[in-house]
């Protein structure tokens, strides 16, 4: 158990378009999910904490209007990159809290390339 999936795994889009990334906990319910971004050869930087049924909490410096997060159910959180630009190109990783294991489980990541 404790599998987290992300869809899509890779996406290429044109500058100015919006992209939605899904994060699903496949075999458990997650009241809390997290979104990270990782630039090449760098660490994971937390973008926001997403709680089911409430507004996401964004880290300092992360534009909430640009990175829209929705956690509509206990198994799904979505990150929408609005009006994407080349500088938004990155590896986006989500994680979900599994209460039984008292730890976060990470998805495989989504590689976003904005042309």
Partner 1 sequence: AQSVTQLGSHVSVSEGALVLLRCNYSSSVPPYLFWYVQYPNQGLQLLLKYTSAATLVKGINGFEAEFKKSETSFHLTKPSAHMSDAAEYFCAVSESPSGTYKYIFGTGTRLKVLA
For β-strands 110-114 and 10-13, DSSP reports them as parallel
Q: Using the rule CB under 8 A, which residue among 29, 80, 106, 113 binds partner 1?
A: 106
Give yes or no for residue 49 binding partner 1 (CB under 8 A): yes
Give yes or no for residue 58 binding partner 1 (CB under 8 A): no
Give yes or no for residue 81 binding partner 1 (CB under 8 A): no
For β-strands 4-7 and 32-38, DSSP reports them as unpaired
Which of 38-46, 61-69, 72-80, 81-89 is the region at the interface with partner 1 (rule: CB under 8 A)? 38-46
In the complex with partner 1, the residue whose CB is nearer, 20 or 91, is 91
Give yes or no for residue 27 binding partner 1 (CB under 8 A): no
Give yes or no for residue 98 binding partner 1 (CB under 8 A): yes
At 56, list the tokens: 């996401």
Give yes or no for residue 93 binding partner 1 (CB under 8 A): yes
**Alpha-carbon distance 90 to 26, whole Å?**
24
Give yes or no for residue 31 binding partner 1 (CB under 8 A): yes
- Radius of gyration for the chain, computed over Cα atoms and rounded to the nearest angstrom: 13
Determine contact, residues 46/110, Cβ cutoff 8 Å: no
Cα 107 versus chain centre, distance? 9
């Amino acid at each position: 158990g404790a599998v987290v999936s992300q869809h899509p795994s890779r996406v290429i889009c044109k500058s100015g378009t919006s992209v939605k990334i899904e994060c699903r906990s496949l075999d458990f319910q997650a009241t809390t999910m997290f979104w990270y971004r990782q630039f090449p050869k760098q660490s994971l930087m937390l973008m926001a904490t997403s709680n089911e049924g409430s507004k996401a909490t964004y880290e300092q410096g992360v534009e909430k209007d640009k990175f829209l997060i929705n956690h509509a159910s206990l198994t799904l959180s979505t990150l929408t990159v609005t009006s994407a630009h080349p500088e938004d190109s990155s590896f986006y990783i989500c994680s979900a809290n599994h209460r039984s294991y008292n730890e976060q489980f990470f998805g495989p990541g989504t590689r976003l390339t904005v042309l």
